[in-house]
Chains A and B, each alone.
Chain A
Amino acid sequence: MNSNDQRATIDVPSSSQGPENGRSRTATQDSSAATHVRGSGRTLPASLLTPPAPPPPPHLPDYKNIIGEGQVDALQFLARDLKGKTIKMVNSTSVGGGVAEMLNRMVPLLSELEVPTRWDVITGGNDFFEVTKAFHNALHGSSYELTKAAQDIFLMYNEQNRARMHFDEELIVIHDPQPLPLVHSRDKSPGHWVWRCHIDLSNPDAHVWEFLRPLVEQYDAAIFSSQSFARQLPIPQYLFYPCIDPLSEKNKELDDSQVQKVCDELGIDRSRPIVTQVSRFDRLKDPVGVVQAYKLAKKYVDCQLVLAGGGATDDPEGAVVLQEVKEAAGDDPDIVILDLPPWCGFEINAIQRASTLIVQKSIREGFGLTVTEALWKGKPTIAGAVGGIPNQIIHKLTGVLVHSVEGCAFQIRYLLTHPEFARRIGASGREHVKENFLITTNVKRWLLLYQILQSVKVQSGA
């Protein structure tokens, strides 16, 4: 270990906000990351080259217009019995990635409900994060040779973190495998220990899983994002779907003039049907398959294709995939390829709202939050039946599931020519998200879990 390469932050204040996208942009922010990020012949406007200043975080009453007063009342009632009790969330990064993004929103809301919630981040050297990255891939099914050295590095950094952290809270939530061994502190802790696993454990490397399993079994409960991601364990396992924040820049309501302005800036023609896929330029998202499906559909129906994503700048493979997509698109003027910087949540929101249909033709997927975002905007959505997508899309009721380029092409044709059916599944999709995949639902799940764990402890006389 080299003490100079410690890179994570610890004890992030619960009220801190991550790099949320906002509309106002500051002149002092670094724009170097964006200077060579551009689409296929479409130059992005200068306003997108710098990250925006973060908007103020929303508060609980702001959600009343979205989920209804009754649901906000339910949250307050659930929190009433937990008033003053404390939660600690622990993960391995304070910025970047879905977990940090979710905690940035979740932690202030729980605290606003008078359930003080602290978010701590473990530290580690590059060697630690190399090992945990390898574990992550192995748990997703890649083969990996688990060495004694890797195990030692993993345990040693966790011991260091454990030695300087306190676990005085009544509920300790450990996110993902990196901080799993912190559970060794549970004997000195009065609280319930819960492991929140955000990754797919359906087909893990056996050696890594058998190394981690005894740690998982020391928790009071485990939480997974899909039934299919879970393992057989002797502890209760709960289902918490990933969620979106309806008030974030990427999902908040926009008026038509805002949508129009973004489309004008990006060269998207709203007078004709728009089919959109939003995702990284990654083969597992099958952007080339989307171009093929669009070309098949276009023999029968007039439409444009927008492929909006990122990842081609900082990921060498992303750049290769982007080039493949451009080659597949050829010189079709109705295909718009946008390689957007990561802070363009507002623009993604506008593009999704301008779209007639949204496609997520993934070949492999975690949960697929871009599908959630599309459904939330009431858009008829076509998606690959993989990962957590079937939890969101009930075929022909909240969207349509496809298994091939040809199936995707057919559904594009069908939905563009049957607008009433498209409208109906779009409306049901939005209700499905409202019921299951909003951040307020997850706040409720945490409060429910806390109440349930507490009642179990009371019943068992602990």
Chain B
Amino acid sequence: MSTAKPAAGTAAHSVVEPSATSKRVAATLVILYAVITMVPLAWIFLTSIKSPPDSISYPPKLLFTPSLEGYCNLFTTRTRQTPEYIAALPPPENTCDAVTRERNMVIAGPSNFLPRFVNSLIIAFGSTFLAVGLGTLAAYGFSRFKVPLADDLLFFILSTRMMPPIAVAIPIFLMYRELGLSDTAIGMMLLYTAVNVSLAVWLLKGFIDEIPREYEEAAMIDGYTRLQAFRKVVLPQATTGIAATAIFCLIFAWNEYAFASLLTSGSAQTAPPFIPTIIGEGGQDWPAVAAGTTIFLVPILVFTILLRKQLLRGITFGAVRK
């Protein structure tokens, strides 16, 4: 336990404080890398607040008047009207009204973006919850009980990830059509759960293996059933692993495009296949696409920032023990 482990850890390698120069070089490299990876994101955000003419001007404009037109176009559908019709309307109620009228258009109603975004939230979080829940129970079982053929089963579980998911797209498409799961939130949740559960089992088994059995045994001797011991002693210690696994599952389910575009088209469509369809409606509306992408990035960003410590431990899991 922690009485013995830290000593072994510190003795294993001698730590020499890096020199000021090497620190500066390292910092420069990290900043450089950060800038390079941030440029596309910054460009998406900047495009989302440009007006459509600014967004396609060449050379690209770095200085421009910010506009909310992209966001307005993202959330609304619009119809073209004559200048006379627009002049006869009562004064605009809000910025979006005003921006739209400048283009000789009026807002006809809300777009499909919000329901698609909500679909994404439900499907991604729902499948993550299922995958992590099932994965935790399965990992605990594999970790603690003598499961017959455990190694083969674990390999079998892993093997579901060995081929690219898109290779099974056609059979799944046909099955889903037969089962009536096409274009349903349940269908997408099941699919993403199936893909993620193998990752969840493997990751979580590693974490649970690291929790000594003695804790549960102590709890069982203290008068708790195995299930109570699992809930009160194992789960609290596995939170780091569960959080890390949840992020990985969520990122996959949130970003998934191929299956979503194949299996959803209407009521269950998620945001990734929806955003490109904006391009088709009335010209190439890049600011609206960029606005959709920007908003789409927010939940995963917030979730990752909230759990970044766990995520780091998740990546280096096995190497660190408290």
Co-complex (A, B): no
**Residues of B at under 8 Å CB distance from A?**
none
